[in-house]
Structure 1
């Protein structure tokens, strides 16, 4: 499979870079992966490769080699195949940078992100800030193993420590996983506890040993409706917090769009900045959203929420300084 994939990539490169259509003989001798053999098996292989590329949307053209020669050849017109120039807004660039960070490839992707940032007109000092770690809390213990179990729809077993204040004992749990949930900095597993015959929610940081398979793949039935963290995470609440957020002209639309009835403009100032009242049931999520929007927003209040935002930004800019304000 790898050899075939490499052969297809080599064929695309050869057809895209040529100025004149390549005949089958030229393709046979020039494209790595065909081996120079000119038997019927090679011709069938080339026809399959050509058909596969077209099925994938690659515009392989069949043309005369030149106007004086009836021989047919193949090429890919760059204008038909190449992507147009990518132009991202600062908000789109920020979202892309955050997504890249979550893959763990931020360092490898840094040159490409910088080029996109230059094209978007982002100043150099701001381009560096966009690659700061934002502490999104995605590296929870056992998350990879549980994600694999969810994909395979396979039951799992693990040791689990009860909540502090109960008896702090550990028990073996057999669970049919239904969903992984993130709520206010913690990860939870929601699933059906086989031994108790009921749905339960488990904090990932209380799992005490390796998550192991406890059944065959495809045996877990996952509900169609994903669970609401507020309904299944112990202690979760939808008590709303009203935050006063100022936004500049370029960012105000994002603040207003997020609202959809839960925010209201509180006024417009002479400098073009607008002030909104944003209601949220998850202050940490609101802080993450404000960080994504960047310097075009300011959290005015309440003071406790503003202090949490300041502490978060200080921790990001200087992890050694901790999270005190």
Structure 2
């Protein structure tokens, strides 16, 4: 019975990916037979899970939308991660997610075991989340989830897109095979194969409107290099809207990577004095973000490669900050 229960729970976990699984695929994953898979599917249906069957070539099993979930079972670290993520989302830049995050946080807390619920309540009531950077463009929550579902289900997607003024491209309708959503800095990007241009393209999600999934399903293509995140970073590095800078930071590379490794390439190097340093390479379309990221390292840094226009803008920002700090009207201590 224990083996049957374990196998059934594993089957449920696979079906909750909401993709279409053939009986053979499920049997291979569960290390059992197709006949046993069919019996386990019937057992899930008896428990109230809406498992749909698709007959014929290319058919299989899929969990229909609306399937109820078993009681939430998480450990202490997972509980803290859930609460922390939902609190952060409540202050994020995705429009419509704040209220939903608060509701979800309340529901998650209710189904936690008593001991973990006390810890989660403590984290929720005794921590402060800074509001998101107002310069980050808001992303419609419906667009975010629509695109994510199209990526997951390998469904053709159409949308209206308004590229940046410096990109050289014209606004218009796009028809794509979406592959992955990739966060870079404070923005989300969609990596997709553009069916009209017959090539891979990277789309900024806040410039995307009226995302509509189509009926056509497709077999996901392999992005050049095999790494979607690396491809997006490389495409942004060569994009016209991007500023590229390199700076040497007087700090250990690992500590720098932990702070900004998500948005930058960090490599160990040595300073003139032989001390460990980090070479940071960043691409961003907002000079203020580059200054914020490097300034937040709490370490000295110096640019070894920076565009002249960006250098002038950063010097202007620095001059304004200096005037504010050292204004003659400021009371002297």
TM-score by length of 1: 0.44
Higher relative contact order (CA 8 A, sep 6+): 1
Question: Which of the two has higher C-alpha Rg?
Answer: 1
TM-score, structure 2 normalization: 0.43
